[in-house]
Amino acid sequence: MLEVQNLNYASPATILFQRLTVIASDFVLLVGVKKCADTVPGQGTYLTSPRVRLAALTLGSAGLIMVDHIHFQYNGLLIGLLLISYAHMTQGRFLKSAFFFTVLLNMKHIFLYLAPAYFVFLLRNYCVTIPAGGWLPRPQLANTAKLGLVVLGVFGLSLAPFVALGQLPQLVSRLFPFKRGLCHAYWAPNIWVFYNLADKLAVFGARQLGVSVPGSSAASMTGGLVQDVEHALLPAVRPAATFALSAAAMLPALVTLWRRPADAAAFLRALVQCALCSFLLGWHVHEKAVLLAVVPLAVLALRSGPEARLYLLLSAAAHVSLGPLLFAGREAPARLLLAGLHAGYAAQALPAAAGPPSRAYTGYLAGLAAVAVYDVIGHRALGLDGRWPFLPLLVTSLYCAVGVVYCWLALYWHMLFRVEGGQKIKVR
């Protein structure tokens, strides 16, 4: 099982090992949900309390179940560490929060998406102080030194074996695969879906005019293969451009976070925005990365009506977009049932989300269901497999991208213009 060249190896024992280790690692997610639930205010009966609703929304997340227990990964473990880190942050235990986040970052570097929010919040609340009525930060050298020791200590223990064996360059090349192309094998529902679609439409238009476009096969960028595929007609997008766009998109959230020190809700909103900005504009983004925004948003959804409604929309779009990962026919009922059950529970568990929705809101959710069914059985039933093999992936990614982009903009509007003061953090 551990031989790198043994790519086609499979056995019942391997499958059992994978399933049991995922189930066992979900204990960390359970601990994270418990610690995070303790920070959510509100009352209710046992089954309707915010703590139980958060547990159901997170532990019953269709996305986590699909990518961990069917597709086989360990995202529940990672999300659990993130929630533990956030819980410590809300309690003013900044060093513990930084420790768990650094451990998380060394386990999966995708959490670099969230690092800017951690950096700004810790800098503003732990490493500097601003006197009342002033504006010039005063450094807290002792706190900065302690924080630096925690972060560098974790990185040192994690990377020391690779440094000792001279494998650090190889590690970096594996962690940052810039040669894998702008988009993942299956399109994540982000901004680049629209760019890819524009390229395909341009190719189609060129062919209608009798212009030959080399290297533009029907399934280009949508064949489900990990490869570096260039756009046929539109200018190529480079990694540096995606980094710059992601950083620029995060800037309003980070500035707002700096201006609202010791506000637990502001920190969580910044985390969600950093995750969404990176997901929508980043390089070679995997579709599962949307869960970095969906799961933390559940905490805000229990506190805020607008964010509850947006959580329902974002989680539904995210779960439908993850469906193509489960491409086997026998998995189709499971993916549809998981997404439907989670959306139904969220609509009932979040009172604000159960209010009278707009026609556009209801129509979009109905469209999500139609897109999921089309991807599973509709395309094949219409006999379009051979002629337009890329169409199911394109429709799913494009439709889900519309919802994700809308939620991103709406959450930004709420954060910048409508949000009220949140829970204040006291340093311990």
Number of domains in the chain: 1
Query: Is residue 428 domain-resident?
Result: no
With H, G, I as helix, E, B as strand and everything else as coil, classify residue 183: strand
Helices assigned H by DSSP within 166-212: 168-175, 191-208
CB 288 within 8 A of CB 326: no
pLDDT at 154: 97
**Least confidently predicted of 46-60, 241-255, 363-377:** 46-60
Query: Is residue 118 domain-resident?
Result: yes
Q: Enter the DSSP assignment of 189.
A: S
Is 369 buried (19+), middle (13-18) or exposed (0-12) by CB count in 10 A? middle
Using one digit for the tens of pLDDT, what is the confidence trace for 136-155? Answer: 889 999 999 999 999 999 99
Closest CA to 352 of 313, 410, 400: 313
Using one digit for the tens of pLDDT, what is the confidence trace for 80-97? Answer: 999 999 999 999 999 999
**Is the pLDDT assigned to residue 228 strictly greater than 70?**
no
Q: How far is CA 178 from CA 92, 191, 234, 283, 289, in A?
A: 38, 18, 19, 8, 17
pLDDT at 326: 82
pLDDT band, very low/low/confident/very high, at 411 (cuts 50, 70, 90): very high
Beta bridge partners of 263: 424
Distinct helix (H) and strand (E) counts, the chain: 17, 2
Using one digit for the tens of pLDDT, what is the confidence trace for 270-305? Answer: 999 999 999 999 988 888 999 999 999 999 998 888
Angle of helix 75-90 versus helix 94-107 axis, rounded to 10: 160
Mean pLDDT of the chain: 87
Query: Is residue 207 domain-resident?
Result: no
Query: Is residue 255 domain-resident?
Result: yes
Is this model's pTM higher than 0.85 or not? yes
Q: How far is CA 279 from CA 101, 118, 195, in A?
A: 19, 17, 15
Is 297 buried (19+), middle (13-18) or exposed (0-12) by CB count in 10 A? buried
Query: Is residue 272 domain-resident?
Result: yes
Spatial separation of the C-alpha atoms in residues 1 and 8, rounded to whole Å: 10
pLDDT band, very low/low/confident/very high, at 246 (cuts 50, 70, 90): very high
Which residues fall within 8 angstroms of residue 18, CB to CB, at 6 or more apart?
Answer: 72
Q: Which domain holds residue 328?
A: 17-190+233-418
pLDDT at 428: 65
Percent of the chain with pLDDT over 70: 90
Phi/psi for 390 (5° steps) reads -85, -10
Spatial separation of the C-alpha atoms in residues 81 and 427, rounded to whole Å: 21
pLDDT at 303: 85
**Average pLDDT value for residue range 195-216:** 80
Using one digit for the tens of pLDDT, what is the confidence trace for 339-360? Answer: 999 999 999 888 765 567 788 9
CA angle 241, 242, 248 (to 5 degrees): 90
Query: Is residue 374 domain-resident?
Result: yes
CB 77 within 8 A of CB 29: yes
**Average pLDDT value for residue range 385-404:** 87
pLDDT at 218: 46
Query: Is residue 292 domain-resident?
Result: yes
**Least confidently predicted of 190-199, 212-221, 290-299, 411-420:** 212-221
**Least confidently predicted of 81-85, 98-102, 117-121, 356-360:** 356-360
Structure-model confidence comparison of residues 42 and 160, the more confident one = 160
pLDDT at 155: 96
**Average pLDDT value for residue range 375-396:** 82
Query: Is residue 3 domain-resident?
Result: no
